[in-house]
Amino acid sequence: MARRGRGSPHKTEPDYRPGQLLDWTDSSHWDHTSARPCRYCGIPTHMRDSHRSPAHKVCAEEALARQAAEAADAYHQNGQTT
């Protein structure tokens, strides 16, 4: 008989998906004065992250997803999972 349920409690893919994580609707994330190179891709943007550094929302989300995946990998490699 096949096992039913929600599946393994240990996920292999991050919960972070580009385009769904950050909410930059606040006007503080927009610089009307000048477009500067995105800190991740180098393409000019008027968007600013929470530290006022130039960054596209999608670029920032991809970086966060990558960081989460790297942290999960490091956690698994250090034998911290069962």
Question: What is the C-alpha to C-alpha distance for residues 69 and 62, in angstroms, rounded to an integer?
Answer: 11
Name the pLDDT band for 76 (thresholds 50, 70, 90).
confident
C-alpha angle 17/22/76, rounded to 5°? Answer: 45
pLDDT above 80: residue 15: no
Residue type, 42: G
- pLDDT digit string, tens, across residues 26-52: 888 899 999 999 999 999 999 998 889
Sign of CA dihedral 51, 56, 61, 62: negative
